[in-house]
Amino acid sequence: MIKAVLFDLFGTVIAYGDIEAGTREAWDGILDALRVLGADPPYEAFAADWQAQFITPLRPEEDTEETPFLGKVLRLFRSYGLPEDRDVALQGVNACISAWDRHLALPDDVVPTLRALRERHAVALVSNFDHPPYVRRLLARLELAQHFDPILISGELRIDKPDPRIFARALDAVGCAPEEALFVGDSLDTDIGGARAVGCRAVLIDMQGHHPDYGGERIAALGELIGLVEC
């Protein structure tokens, strides 16, 4: 019996628009910050450098800023031999996130689905995101925070999916065993793989058809989840 439903955020509750255009515009915000400090690499070289910084966790001695995102931008500055200008780094972070935000949307079926699920289940959010203040603002702006209890953000916990510890935190918070929880996410590795590794039932949401060969439980829109939860 399913007692709790756990959700990823981006690509699951929040839909992507043109992800390639959104990524390019967002990364341009970081590149502009480099230019302010005097570096002007070609976009392709910069994108490879920034992607490497973005996906590489901060070492404990590097993780001294409010958010991992800010710490990674400052680490990027160091890699180019630039001063660790926190104000410029914050400008880059904000420009990046603002650009990305313009390519996100809330599907019409999300709120009705969350309301229906909360009538019978605990509902939690477990999101990988390196700049938690933005997630908190986004949830407030879209009036989504009220539908989740608890809300776990990797950048606050310094634990990223698929690390089992973040799933364990969520399960403890909703008071159920792994086999009593269903996790919904759009990433095969961080969401589906991570949830399965701790013993949760996992459902892939694939809004844009990126995983046609996936053979497990899947949905194309969140509204389709209700029938699966009751199975």
Q: Which residues pair with 125 in a beta bridge?
A: 7, 151
What pLDDT does residue 18 have? 86
Question: Which tokens in the block code for residue 9?
Answer: 């955020």
- The string of pLDDT tens digits covering residues 12-31 is 999 998 888 999 999 999 99
Any idea what DSSP says for residue 224?
G
- Please give the Cα distance from 165 to 157 (Å, whole number): 10
| Contact in structure between 204 and 190 (CB atoms under 8 Å) | no
Phi-psi region of 208 (alpha: psi -120 to 50; beta: other; left: phi over 0): alpha
- The string of pLDDT tens digits covering residues 111-167 is 999 999 999 999 999 999 999 999 999 999 999 999 999 999 999 999 999 999 999
DSSP per-residue string spanning 85-146: -HHHHHHHHHHHHHHHHTTEE--TTHHHHHHHHHTTSEEEEEE--S-HHHHHHHHHHTT-GG
What pLDDT does residue 231 have? 64
Backbone phi, psi, residue 115, to 5°? -60, -45
**pTM score of the predicted model:** 0.94
| Contact in structure between 187 and 207 (CB atoms under 8 Å) | no
Instruction: Tally helices (H) and strands (E) across the chain.
Output: 10, 8
- The string of pLDDT tens digits covering residues 186-231 is 999 999 999 999 999 999 999 988 899 999 999 999 999 998 887 6
